[in-house]
Chain A
């Protein structure tokens, strides 16, 4: 099993009050969803909050109802980085199947630097 996350940034810099969006590759068709949770770093939590948002599909299927079905598709997904206070923190972007949460498909570490 291999998921190529090399295109994802390892570090994001934001200012307090700023929101930055990081596009994530979607694997919804394979049953996987992204979630975000803080890494276990005492004292660092609170500098930023990272959440995951699924966007509406860019283009709805144009195939006529009743006829040939369109291709499969995946809705765009973004990680939303919200700078809250100066400092640094590490978040984990976890790609996992909700029906098998204990065996994530991939985990990506995202370091967030928040400047005043």
Chain B
């Protein structure tokens, strides 16, 4: 029923609106009805995704992000301190905050800052390299994959390279197919996203056929968060990047710098709609910072600023991701010896340790968050002379070990499905008279990759490898070898397969570096370093010094026991000097170093040592130096 002028006057008066109608119109006249220019038929009401409860985030796995959450009042400082420890927080400066002293309660809520840029947050980048979808219509697969990669980096301090071809082909689409992020989220939740070695990005037509070990080389996680506009900045500030939809007008192709604002010229036509990864914002610019997937020639090296609200970028909800679970393949160079950071646990960063008392093997684990208590998973075997070398493999994310037996040979065991099942006897193999701890890795020959072992025998080193046909004896190399160690790594030098690198302890007390040249398969003698050493070394290739997943090469990190302490050595691979440096001695009553890994605690180094009393003890290094952790228990 149409309202009259008189009724409207009464309404305005009664509700104290301070508005008036035209004064020269009588009360009885009906209000005019102005059409909107379109009927309401077909209009779709707006939706509002459920708000994110940022107070439920907890401290998370990234110490810097935990500090930011505490500063925003989203988590109690005591929870942050419990999750990361006072030394690390002191280094980050949080001890200056009064709240940390007592702070059981979170401080009052504070809003998001005026700008965020994940390319340069806390002095480092958290964003993988810009990719190029050309000429495919696969922006949705690229944006979703970029989201997963960035969250692995943020949550686990891990650079990883995933394949955009995996979600695209995995949902049954091809180069010319359009799509959306819900498809990527559904695929990711069910299958994860694998690395290009399992299934590559490609522009031609192919049937989807990833390697059979895809399950063990795919990052997993829950469904993407759908985030409403009121939470975008807080999510970007306290969680990570988010994927946005936008319209593409012709002038977006020519954007190169500044803030993009769509031209209203009639010639600027709508070309389509697109997905990008939003990696920041700046209120002073009034713009979102986006990572596009059109290569580095577009915008500013592949990045661009899109003005708030421009080209419909703020029209729809955006997608984010929390609680990623990196795969064993992505972390294969980051651990060695008896220590492995698995994907188990609520935070997907449990520490797993396999010790030996000279006979049986004891598998222990520690949850990736407070209260940091060590539990015992299982006890098995009866012939382990040394602490085993433990790896996570692409065989269904198995954990597998190889150790030197009391009879001087090698013994292989495995437990399936992430390590939750019983340990299975993989059999005894190898030569007689083994000395030291076996180096043991899964390499990239075949898929699933062959196992590679290097063991000391008769004053030399011998290479063994396992493919689908079983274990095979490889060449012997070197001389004057006292002990091998858990110091075999397939690094990132060499192509198409990376070189094998190992370090062993010589009878003259020095360490020597060896590497196998690709593709001649010949072992080359590298430099000797150190002195006075009579124990097996443990070596990894970490990611310290890498600017992104493409490089430069991460350093080799090595720990070895000498004179009751641990010596830490590192080779500077980032600068190309290839020199080994002795950085520190730490610890006490150390008989041998058993395990080493670069963990998700902001690239900390974690070390497990075998003490002279046959107990295992945990040490770790953060930016503040080396710290003594608890005695875990008998080896």
Residues of chain A touching chain B, judged by Cβ–Cβ distance below 8 Å, are 1-4, 25-33, 54, 56-57, 61-75, 95, 97-100, 105-106
Contact = CB atoms under 8 A, between A and B. Distances in A.
Nearest to A1: B203
A81 B449 CA distance: 56
Contacts of A27: 135, 137
B298 interface: yes
Given A31-B134, A69-B316, A99-B256, A64 B47 contact: yes
Q: Summarize B's interface: helix, strand, loop or mixed.
A: loop
A62 B316 CA distance: 11
Contacts of B176: 4, 25
B579 interface: no
Contacts of A32: 134-135
Interface in B6-37: none
The 6 A-B residue pairs with the shortest CB-CB distance, nearest first, are A67-B47, A69-B245, A69-B316, A28-B271, A74-B272, A98-B253
Q: Is the interface of A mostly helix, strand, loop or mixed?
A: loop
Given A69-B316, A97-B253, A97-B297, A28 B182 contact: no
Contact of A72 (B140, B203, B229, B315): B140
A29 B139 contact: yes
Contacts, number: 148
A73 B298 contact: no
Contact of A64 (B44, B271, B272): B44
Contacts of B179: 71-72
13 contacts: A2-B204, A4-B176, A28-B248, A29-B272, A30-B134, A33-B253, A66-B49, A66-B228, A67-B226, A70-B316, A72-B275, A95-B135, A98-B254
B274 interface: yes
A100 B139 CA distance: 18
Interface in B23-59: 44-49
B250 interface: yes
A71 B139 CA distance: 10
Contacts of A61: 273
B294 interface: yes
A73 B178 contact: yes
Nearest to A106: B135
B273 A72 contact: yes
Nearest to A55: B269
Contacts of A71: 140, 178-180, 273
A100 B138 CA distance: 19
Contacts of A105: 134-135
B146 interface: no
B136 interface: yes
Contacts of B250: 33, 54, 98
B311 interface: no
B346 interface: no
Given A69-B181, A99-B254, 7 more contacts: A29-B137, A29-B248, A30-B134, A33-B271, A66-B49, A70-B245, A71-B180
A67 B316 contact: yes
B96 to A, nearest CB: 40
A61 B229 CA distance: 19
Contacts of B270: 54, 56-57, 75
Contact of B294 (A31, A66, A70, A106): A31
B133 interface: yes
A63 B269 contact: no
A30 B316 contact: no
Contact of A66 (B136, B229, B269): B229
B448 interface: no
A31 B297 CA distance: 11
Contact of B47 (A28, A33, A66, A74): A66
Interface of B: 44-49, 133-140, 175-176, 178-182, 203-204, 226, 228-229, 244-245, 248, 250, 253-256, 269-275, 294-295, 297-299, 315-318
A28 B139 CA distance: 11
A29 B275 CA distance: 9
A93 to B, nearest CB: 14
Contacts of B133: 29-30
A99 B229 CA distance: 31
Contact of A67 (B49, B135, B271): B49
A66 B316 contact: yes
Nearest to A100: B297
A11 B256 CA distance: 37
A67 to B, nearest CB: 3
B297 A99 contact: yes
A65 B44 CA distance: 8
Contacts of B137: 27, 29-30, 72, 74
A68 B273 contact: no
B226 to A, nearest CB: 6
Nearest to A77: B271
Given A66-B47, A66-B229, A2 B269 contact: no
Contacts of A69: 180-181, 244-245, 275, 315-318
Nearest to B248: A28
B134 A65 contact: no
A93 B449 CA distance: 47
Contacts of B255: 99
Given A2-B203, A75-B271, A63 B294 contact: no
Nearest to A3: B135
B226 A68 contact: yes
B181 A99 contact: no
B245 A66 contact: no
Contacts of B298: 31, 97, 99
A61 B245 CA distance: 11
Nearest to B251: A98
Nearest to A32: B135
A66 B271 contact: no
Contacts of B253: 31, 33, 97-99
A26 to B, nearest CB: 7
Contacts of A57: 270, 272
Given A25-B176, A33-B271, A62-B44, A72 B139 contact: yes
Contacts of B45: 64
Nearest to B134: A30
Given A68-B226, A71-B178, A30 B140 contact: no
B20 to A, nearest CB: 34
Contacts of B297: 97, 99-100
Contacts of B248: 28-29
Nearest to B297: A100
Contact of A70 (B256, B271, B273): B273
A107 B226 CA distance: 40
